[in-house]
Amino acid sequence: MSKNCLFCKIVKGEIPAAKVFESETVLGFKDINPSAPIHVLFISKTHTNDISELSIDPTALSDLFSSLTEYATTIPELKDGYRLIINKGPRGGQSVFHTHIHLLGGKQMQGF
């Protein structure tokens, strides 16, 4: 846990979040400022700053991806597909430095 990390505070229940998925190691919750009808964030409960740090732990990485794909299979609006985004570092648009994957869907996604 990182003391001043926003998403660690969500994991600890110190800040509320609309949870959509929870396991021992992974949490999925709605983004507070959604960019699509479905916009959720998936995180490992263990703190890492960004995707390059998380990638050192193949088990955590695999847990995270299998959790979000498992979640997606339960949502009819995601049956035909969805988009995953990982922002890395300030130049990549990362604003919360606890590794997270954006899952966006529920509408036709266009190019970026």
Active-site residues: which are they?
100
Provide φ and ψ at 101, rounded to 5°: -115, 125
Q: Does residue 8 contact residue 47 with C-beta atoms inside 8 Å?
A: yes
Which partner, Zn ion, ligand 5GP, none, binds residue 95 by CB below 5 to 8 Å per kind? ligand 5GP
Subset of 3-62 contacting Zn ion (CB under 5 A): 5, 7-8, 47
Smallest CA-to-CA distance from 99 within 90, 87, 82, 112 is with 87
Residue 2 sits in the site that holds ligand 5GP (CB under 6 A)? no
Q: Which residues of the chain form contacts with ligand 5GP (CB under 6 A)? A: 6, 15, 17, 29-33, 87, 93-96
